[in-house]
Amino acid sequence: DAGVIQSPRHEVTEMGQEVTLRCKPISGHNSLFWYRQTMMRGLELLIYFNNNVPIDDSGMPEDRFSAKMPNASFSTLKIQPSEPRDSAVYFCASSLSGLLYNEQFFGPGTRLTVL
């Protein structure tokens, strides 16, 4: 059974360019989470969706960041324009959420470098 799929695995771009990260959650999961991991700040939640609806985007750092989930099997995180301080590893996670189940399963991550 395929886990969470993320693409690209690595992205190098120049400051000011638009960056789009993609995520395919585990089939049947109804919640999707976007995280960012850096050495300084650790693992931070950016935004999460339940049943394709954004529930909490308080972790999104600025208006330059946006996320969408057009259907149950796909989500994007977009940064426009990108800046060097956005360099980090971005993880997508999914879960089957309910009263009993809460475990989140993470993808392999996208390592973003903004020059």
Residue 1 engages another protein in binding (rule: CB under 8 A)? no
Residue 102 engages another protein in binding (rule: CB under 8 A)? yes
Terminus-to-terminus CA distance in the chain, angstroms? Answer: 37
- Nearest partner of 30 among 7, 55, 2, judged by Cα: 55
Q: Which segment (17-25, 43-51, 67-75, 80-88) binds another protein by CB under 8 A?
A: 43-51
According to DSSP, the residues that pair with 71 across neighbouring strands are 74
Candidate residues 25, 36, 109, 114; the one interacting with another protein per rule CB under 8 A: 109
Q: Which segment (17-25, 49-57, 60-68, 72-80) binds another protein by CB under 8 A?
A: 49-57
Burial class (CB in 10 A: 0-12, 13-18, 19+), 94: buried
Closest approach of another protein to the CB of residue 81, in Å: 27
Query: Judging by DSSP bridges, how do beta strands 110-114 and 10-13 pair with one another?
Result: parallel
Q: CA 81 from chain center: how many Å?
A: 17
Positions in the binding site for another protein (CB under 8 A): 4, 30-31, 33, 42-45, 48, 50-51, 55-56, 91, 93, 95, 97-99, 102-109
